[in-house]
């Protein structure tokens, strides 16, 4: 009936709306039109009644609704044009329905075309923020369509009650009135939903218009989707409230949780890593990495040029040809995700937006000035209250990860589904092994917590499942010149044999800075010049380093770096000095037998720091190389500038 009516009234292609979609659209239309003040038909508007004044949705509420769909402005423009609203000048029922369908298509990741609406689509989702007159437009669509996405992490029944209360408050008619309005986290929540929904939808509809590579990655993102899904259009009202509660809890936790958004959230650890890399390319964290430098760096990731180009497009928000720290982190994160198999998003996810990144992530200890604002960020605010939930969720996330990891290569969605469904209760203990690493790793940042966001990071371990393990590898593959393995190994034996601090494990940088080392002895336990120190001043230094807190070396790391004008291959020199170092400490070992254990621990810690320093030193070398590249590029640019004048 509706289809016929809409088909008859519209000038566009015939719309085939399912029952659920009909209800949803008509309610939304009614809302829009009602908000405009005119008395809209409560039922499906028909062609006969299409008097321009009465049954059209005013552009104001319609625009708000569209904006609530969280699609980029350009997409909305396209949709508006496609649905013909511009042509007729107003949003008649047909146009409105077409627009809604297009919104659903866009949210599912399908291109916005007239053809898109012909296939069966999930219902469009709209997210309202607090400011938008509370609950004007509902997520009724989501309710109907979300069976597909009911997250497995359904632990929070308390939200259910809340839902019920809000239900009562709202008109009985509209399941559209969903409480999703509440949270500042709604945008991220929303963003997550289309991602997940899109994938599940794709799974269902045998990839009609979606590029092939993207399909392959679906299971990763929403393993639980299909398990719950029937076809998207099942308007079960009684289910609606249930789903709403899930969506709400999802919302609440969303800020700190990671599921559908998982790939796009940066954990504390990752953040640090990215910042380190940034510093290696550009010592000043507040300035930019130029395009060519970044290009060289990212090219090492071995992604294809078009993909890198696309990632750049996404991450360079201000299109200035250079990457600031948050932009760099976003780009790096996208590369990491891509390497681990996640398809690239259509647009920059909210968690990767530069503003978000800058606010949410404090700078590493040595530089907090720029990130003082993080405390004001939403995530920080939400954490305390969501902490409990997060913990639960994180455990569940952990459980999930081993499963998706296994299935990364295969398209075994069903296996994933069932696996995850069962995994939740059972495998938590089994899978704890895998997440343990991530847990322990996260525990470190957590303990360090220079911000409440560290908890957030810890919580959303949900991260890319494969990321933690591969990352170390990535380090090696990406920065091939950083031969950390080799560096570390020689240092380890050296430290062990030495037992004592001169963990000259620090590859002997036969730096001329030895004299300086002596003066800085208090501050540089073994860090950098350890190698050089080891040879000569090791005995003297042994006592001093013990007292050094680990943080000091970090702060001082730059100095050694500056001093290290000549950077030698750490690997080559490790062997020699290490042996030398070990010889000297021996006599002193006996003296300090009582302090051995402490020394070992500090040595281990310092070794790690030393490794980090070495890594930076290596990258400094690379930077020098890049400078040469830049000069070359500058010259080429000049040449190009001159060329047109001569050629044309």
Partner 1 sequence: MVHTSLDVVDEKISAMGKALVDQRELYLGLLYPTEDYKVYGYVTNSKVKFVMVVDSSNTALRDNEIRSMFRKLHNSYTDVMCNPFYNPGDRIQSRAFDGMVTSMMIQVC
Judged by the rule CB under 8 A, the positions of this chain that interact with partner 1 are 74, 77-78, 81, 291-292, 294-295, 298, 305-306, 308-310, 312-313, 316, 319-321, 346, 641, 644, 648
Classify 172 as helix, strand or coil: coil
Residue closer to partner 1 (CB basis): 148 or 308: 308
Residue closer to partner 1 (CB basis): 284 or 313: 313
The minimum distance between CB 50 and partner 1, in angstroms, equals: 25
Q: What is the DSSP string of 272-301?
A: HHHHHHHHHH-S-TTS-EEHHHHHHHHHTT
The minimum distance between CB 67 and partner 1, in angstroms, equals: 17
* Cα angle for residues 169, 175, 178 (degrees, 5° grid): 65
Residue closer to partner 1 (CB basis): 78 or 432: 78
The minimum distance between CB 295 and partner 1, in angstroms, equals: 4
The minimum distance between CB 65 and partner 1, in angstroms, equals: 21
**CB contact set of 388 (below 8 Å; sequence gap of 6+):** none
The minimum distance between CB 472 and partner 1, in angstroms, equals: 26
Residue closer to partner 1 (CB basis): 30 or 82: 82
Residue closer to partner 1 (CB basis): 211 or 587: 211
Q: Is 327 exposed, middle or buried (0-12, 13-18, 19+ CB in 10 A)?
A: buried
Question: DSSP character for 426?
Answer: I
The minimum distance between CB 309 and partner 1, in angstroms, equals: 4
Residue closer to partner 1 (CB basis): 28 or 106: 106
Residue with tokens 């190009």, as numbered in its chain:
640
Residue closer to partner 1 (CB basis): 296 or 489: 296
**CB contact set of 2 (below 8 Å; sequence gap of 6+):** 17, 22, 26, 44
> How far apart (Å, rounded) are the C-alpha atoms in residues 495 and 582?
8
The minimum distance between CB 645 and partner 1, in angstroms, equals: 9
The minimum distance between CB 644 and partner 1, in angstroms, equals: 4
Decide if 262 contacts 340 (C-beta within 8 A). Answer: no
449's tokens: 């917590």
Beta bridge partners, 57, equal: 91
Classify 132 as helix, strand or coil: coil
The minimum distance between CB 298 and partner 1, in angstroms, equals: 8
574's tokens: 């490790």
Q: What is the DSSP string of 371-390?
A: GGGGGGSHHHHHHHHHHHHH
Q: Report the half-sphere exposure of 539 (CA within 13 A, side-chain side).
A: 11
Residue closer to partner 1 (CB basis): 320 or 522: 320
Decide if 322 contacts 298 (C-beta within 8 A). Answer: no
Residue closer to partner 1 (CB basis): 67 or 295: 295
Residue with tokens 């005119």, as numbered in its chain:
38
Residue closer to partner 1 (CB basis): 81 or 543: 81
**CB contact set of 508 (below 8 Å; sequence gap of 6+):** 530, 531, 532, 534, 535, 570, 573, 574, 576, 577, 578
For the chain, what's the residue count? 648
* Cα angle for residues 423, 424, 426 (degrees, 5° grid): 65
The minimum distance between CB 338 and partner 1, in angstroms, equals: 14
Residue closer to partner 1 (CB basis): 294 or 419: 294
The minimum distance between CB 404 and partner 1, in angstroms, equals: 27
Classify 323 as helix, strand or coil: strand
78's tokens: 């396209």
> How far apart (Å, rounded) are the C-alpha atoms in residues 467 and 474?
9
């Amino acid at each position: 009936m509706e289809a016929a009516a809409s088909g008859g009234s519209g000038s566009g292609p015939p719309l085939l709306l399912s029952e659920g979609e009909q209800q949803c659209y008509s309610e939304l239309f009614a809302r829009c039109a009602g908000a405009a003040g005119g008395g809209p038909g409560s039922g499906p508007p028909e062609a006969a009644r299409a008097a321009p004044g009465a049954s059209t949705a005013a552009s104001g509420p319609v625009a708000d609704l569209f904006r609530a769909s969280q699609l980029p402005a350009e997409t909305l423009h396209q949709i508006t044009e496609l649905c013909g609203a511009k042509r007729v000048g107003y949003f008649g029922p047909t146009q409105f329905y077409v627009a809604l369908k297009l919104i659903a298509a866009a949210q599912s990741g399908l291109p916005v075309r007239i053809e898109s609406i012909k296939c069966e689509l999930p219902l469009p989702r709209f997210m309202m923020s607090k400011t938008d007159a509370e609950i004007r437009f509902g997520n009724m669509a989501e309710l109907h369509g979300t069976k597909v996405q009911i997250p497995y992490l359904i632990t929070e029944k308390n939200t259910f009650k809340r839902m019920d209360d809000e239900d009562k408050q709202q008109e009985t008619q509209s399941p559209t009135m969903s409480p999703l309005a509440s949270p500042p986290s709604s945008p991220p929540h929303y963003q997550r939903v289309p991602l997940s929904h899109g994938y599940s939808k794709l799974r269902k509809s045998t990839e009609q218009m979606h590029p092939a590579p993207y399909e392959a990655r679906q299971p990763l993102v929403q393993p639980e989707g299909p398990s719950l899904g029937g076809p998207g259009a099942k308007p079960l009202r009684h289910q609606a409230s249930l789903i709403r509660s899930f969506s709400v809890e999802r919302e609440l936790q969303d800020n700190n949780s990671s599921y559908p958004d998982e790939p796009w959230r940066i954990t504390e650890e990752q953040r640090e890593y990215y910042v380190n890399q940034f510093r290696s390319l550009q010592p000043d964290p507040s300035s930019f990495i130029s395009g060519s430098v970044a290009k060289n760096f990212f090219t090492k990731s071995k992604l294809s040029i078009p993909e890198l180009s696309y990632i750049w497009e996404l991450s360079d928000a201000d299109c200035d040809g250079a990457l600031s720290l948050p932009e760099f982190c976003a780009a790096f994160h996208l590369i990491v995700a891509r390497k681990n198999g996640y398809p690239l998003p259509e647009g920059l996810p909210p968690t990767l937006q530069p503003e978000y990144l800058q606010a949410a992530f404090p700078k590493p200890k040595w530089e907090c000035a720029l990130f003082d604002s993080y405390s004001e960020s939403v995530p920080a605010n939400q954490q305390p209250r969501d902490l409990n939930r997060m913990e639960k969720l994180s455990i569940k996330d952990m459980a999930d990860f081993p499963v998706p990891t296994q299935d990364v290569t295969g398209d075994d969605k069903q296996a994933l589904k069932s696996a995850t469904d069962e995994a939740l209760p059972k495998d938590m203990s089994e899978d704890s092994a895998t997440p343990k690493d991530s847990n322990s790793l996260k525990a470190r940042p957590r303990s360090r917590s220079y911000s409440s966001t560290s908890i957030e990071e810890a919580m959303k371990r949900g991260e890319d499942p494969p990321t933690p393990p591969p990352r170390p590898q990535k380090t090696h593959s990406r920065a091939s010149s950083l031969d950390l393995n080799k560096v570390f190994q020689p240092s380890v034996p050296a430290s062990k044999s030495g037992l004592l601090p001169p963990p000259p494990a620090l590859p002997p940088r036969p730096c001329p800075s030895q004299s300086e080392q002596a003066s800085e002895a208090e501050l540089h336990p073994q860090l950098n010049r350890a190698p050089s120190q080891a040879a000569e001043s090791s005995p003297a230094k042994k006592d001093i380093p013990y007292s050094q807190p680990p943080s000091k070396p970090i702060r001082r790391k730059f100095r050694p770096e500056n001093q290290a004008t000549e950077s030698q291959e750490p690997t080559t020199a490790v062997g020699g000095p290490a042996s030398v170092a070990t010889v000297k400490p021996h006599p002193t070992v006996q003296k300090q037998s009582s302090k051995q254990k402490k020394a070992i621990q500090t040595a281990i810690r310092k070794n790690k720091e030393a490794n980090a320093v070495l890594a930076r030193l290596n990258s400094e070398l690379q930077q020098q190389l890049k400078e040469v590249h830049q000069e070359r590029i500058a010259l080429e640019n000049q040449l190009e500038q001159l060329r047109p004048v001569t050629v044309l």
